[in-house]
Amino acid sequence: MTKRKIFIISNRLPINIIKKKEQLKFKPSAGGLATGLSSLYKKYSSQWMGWPGIVPVNDAEKKHIVKSLKTENMLPVFLSKQDIDEYYEGFSNRTIWPLFHYFTQYSIYNQKQWDAYIKVNKVFCEELTNKVKPNDIIWIHDYHLMLLPKMIRERTPNATIGFFLHIPFPSFEIFRLLPWRKEILEGLLGADLIGFHTYDYGRHFVSSVTQITGYESKMFQINHADRITRVDCFPMGIDYEKFASAPKKQAVIRERNRYLQRLANQKIILSIDRLDYSKGLLERLDAFHQFLHDYPEYREKISLVLVVVPSRAKVESYRKLKHQLDEYVGRINGEHGTVAWLPIIYMYRSFSFNTISALYSIADIALITPLRDGMNLVAKEYIANKNDSGGVLILSELAGSAGEMGEALLINPNNQRDIIRTIKNALEMPEDEQLKRNKEMQTKLKRYNINRWGEDFIERLNQTKQLQSTMVIKRIHKKTLDFILDTYDKAERRLIFLDYDGTLVPFKKNPEDANPDGELINLLNQLSISEKNELVLISGRDKNTMNQWFGDMDFNLVAEHGAWLRQKNKQWNVIEPFSNDWKKEIYPVLELYVERTPGSFIEEKEFSLVWHYRKADVGLGELRARELTGTATDLTGNLDLQILEGNKIIEVKNSGINKGRAALNWLKSENWSFVLAIGDDWTDEDLFKVLPDSAFSIRVGFKSTLAKHNIKSFEQVRNLLRKFVQKK
């Protein structure tokens, strides 16, 4: 049997291609992601797709790259220099990177770069859809490709798609600054599972989705269209054994001894980071500088080994940061250094694994203080390296890894006094305490290593697909649709119940804006013209609104969920006399919630009161809705009232009123050869409940229901009605 294939999609392939003397040299990348996914290669027939890191100058070079990478199960996506400048250096790293790391002052919003981002995501989509099969798994990585999940979904609706974001996802207040915020969210929601390093990032994402798109979420599960997307956190691990065993390697020992000769009798503080404003490098130097002032007894007894890995040299903010670092290191060394001692040993370059391992090994303290970081694997690598020795990790609480590494000394990177105090505590910490703290962290890192991270994500992705398969069994397929149309066509007498809001028109923030458009009016007229049809528009709207919109049309109307009925060409009648005395007791309660919930308002109908919160802040609205439901339930216990929780509304009404009871007026009037009811919320469940077994019932949206079928949206409802009209 053929193995199920997994496609790993990332901006870059885990390969470095260098051109020397017209020859292309290939060298595998030793990055954490490549290591982490290696175990999945054994379970699946895998392919890795991404940019190879070089812009070929001719077709011959392209063919050579494709052929060479094929043996490594890699699929290159070729991009132009302009693509790299505008999509990668531009939108990805000058818009998304600073914004998602809370450096809004560095974010630029350039339409041309956004267009390039769309274009490159489409290029990846084209390359992938030519190769992917229905049973394959697609796992997309990071912020460069956030539009890709939806693009693939549109091409292959049943695909298994996972997405993992390796950087922070910002709070709604930050994310909303992005001009293309909705497009990014819709792009990501094409995935079945979206993974983040921490719960906070996932929480921020879900909050942005509910605030911007209006989709509902529950327990990190987002309901949209006819699918659910799951959100979960998977803290990325490291290759623990690789770093734990490194100090015993001869090459690492040689490097270690070389450094110790130079740094004899020094306490060593190690700082390793890529050049980036999010890493807090200047703030780190500032704290160390002040430490030397505050505790002069440590002069000539400690050294800060500052390793900065070059990054994004073309970006102006990075060049400026490099210049500031150079100046500040020189100033500190000039102020405090001696002939025999430099406070800061500054190295601006990349290092081999052996050299990095040697530095981890000799460091008494690892000082890792990013202002914002998706995860930060350096912290984990340092602790793994300290398998048999002491060492203290000082870690920013704003790094993703802080959530797992509570035994480290956590600091606020913006609090200089906190950093200084913590450095002193670290220097004075007894070795037995160091070993104890490190042991607890090592146990966790060893258990949830990089391989377990990758396997965990894929396992959760498969579980999500299984969940979806159980939830979409009522979806209308072509065979079912054909049967409905055929039954309609043959029927001599047809009864059709249609809800209004959410079924025939989309929801609006202002309910009065959801008035019927010309196309809908024409559809309803066409349906009602046929002598075979009895059309009933059955809504929660008040009778005055229904009369204003549909009063001169030749079909039946039901208002206020069944309180009022108007058979065609007749007057409005109440289904039975009801008392409204309860309103004077309930109205002040609703007013209190309007005052406490900006954007909410009260709608008064003849036999009900409705508290709307569609225009309120999503989180606050949902909180107040839960509070109001509880309060109203207590108040109405002896008043024969019912509390309805609709789409962004809480409605209080007489308990004898519901759509099912109203529908019986037509259901019992004659023997119908075709009955259909379509609605979108749980007030329509009363209608579905009273239908005969032979009836067709459809609920709009992806919700559990008594209806026999689910349909995606109001657009699909209209498409069905158009097909009815064509049948006559």
d(Cα 344, Cα 333) in Å, to the nearest integer? 6
Catalytic residue among 499, 501, 681, 686: 499
Phi/psi of residue 345, nearest 5 degrees: -100, 110
| 626, 639 contact by CB (below 8 A) | no
d(Cα 698, Cα 678) in Å, to the nearest integer? 5
Work out the number of other CB atoms within 10 angstroms of the CB of residue 129: 15
N-term to C-term CA, the chain: 51
d(Cα 191, Cα 178) in Å, to the nearest integer? 21
d(Cα 616, Cα 638) in Å, to the nearest integer? 31
d(Cα 587, Cα 26) in Å, to the nearest integer? 74
Measured between alpha carbons, how far is residue 664 from residues 101, 536, 680, 706 in Å?
58, 12, 19, 17
Work out the number of other CB atoms within 10 angstroms of the CB of residue 321: 20
| 336, 328 contact by CB (below 8 A) | no
Phi/psi of residue 443, nearest 5 degrees: -60, -45
* CA torsion through residues 665, 671, 672, 677, sign: positive
SS3 string, 607-660, reads CEEEEECCCCCHHHHHHHHHHHHHHHHHHCCCCCEEEEEECCEEEEEECCCCHH
Q: Is residue 632 exposed (0-12), middle (13-18) or buried (19+ Cβ within 10 Å)?
A: buried
Work out the number of other CB atoms within 10 angstroms of the CB of residue 131: 12
Q: Is residue 218 exposed (0-12), middle (13-18) or buried (19+ Cβ within 10 Å)?
A: exposed
Half-sphere exposure of 683 (CA within 13 A, CB side): 31
Torsion of CA 51, 56, 316, 10, to 10 degrees: 0
Contacts of 50 (CB under 8 A, 6+ apart): 9, 10, 11, 12, 13, 74, 75, 76, 77
Measured between alpha carbons, how far is residue 165 from residues 139, 202, 220 in Å?
11, 10, 16
The residue behind tokens 């002193």 is 424
| 587, 601 contact by CB (below 8 A) | no
Contacts of 287 (CB under 8 A, 6+ apart): 369, 416, 419, 420, 423
Please confirm, yes or no, whether 499 is among the known catalytic residues. Answer: yes
Measured between alpha carbons, how far is residue 80 from residues 88, 167, 394 in Å?
11, 25, 42
SS3 string, 506-543, reads CCCCCHHHCCCCHHHHHHHHHHHHCCCEEEEEECCCCH
| 171, 241 contact by CB (below 8 A) | no
Question: 391: left (phi > 0), else alpha (psi -120 to 50), else beta?
Answer: left
* CA torsion through residues 115, 116, 119, 121, sign: negative
Q: Is residue 204 exposed (0-12), middle (13-18) or buried (19+ Cβ within 10 Å)?
A: buried
- Number of continuous H segments (helices) and E segments (strands) in the chain: 27, 29
Indicate which residues carry an active-site annotation: 499
